């Protein structure tokens, strides 16, 4: 259910930018969401449809792009894209370090672009 407050923040940002730019209608919004965010695409759209009712964003389509999980080896600095299943059990492909990594991307979410009329 953490999609609800996230979706509220997204809608508020969209409406604020739409007002500043004198937009009549928001047609679509492209979101970038990290693979580790645990945000579900269907629920974000569902909540967005509900919350945007009676606003200029009503009926807007959310296009969701997933950002891969990227980690950096703390020993050599090598960055590597991984799958969720590999977390906690990977070895650096460059130096062979085992398990000492920092998260570079994968938890973020942001509005990439907005199509409006």
Radius of gyration of the chain (CA): 18
Domain that holds residue 92: 3-116
pTM for this predicted structure: 0.84
CB contact at 8 A, 116 and 27: yes
Beta bridge partners of 98: 91
Domain of 53, CATH number, reads: 3.30.2320.80
What are 22-70's pLDDT values in tens digits? Answer: 999 999 999 999 999 989 999 999 999 999 999 999 999 999 999 999 9
CB contact at 8 A, 34 and 49: no
Which pLDDT value is given to residue 111? 97
Domain count, the chain: 1
């Amino acid at each position: 259910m953490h999609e609800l407050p996230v979706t509220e923040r997204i809608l508020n940002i969209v409406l604020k930018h739409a007002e500043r730019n004198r937009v009549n209608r928001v047609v679509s919004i492209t979101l970038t969401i990290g693979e580790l965010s645990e945000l579900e695409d269907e629920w974000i759209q569902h909540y967005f449809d509900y919350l945007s009712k009676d606003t200029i964003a009503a009926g807007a389509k959310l296009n969701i792009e997933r950002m891969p999980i990227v980690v950096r080896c703390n020993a050599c600095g090598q960055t590597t894209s991984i799958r969720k299943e590999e977390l906690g059990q990977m070895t650096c492909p460059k130096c062979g370090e085992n398990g000492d990594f920092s998260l570079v991307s994968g938890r973020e979410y942001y509005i990439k672009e907005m199509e409006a009329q």
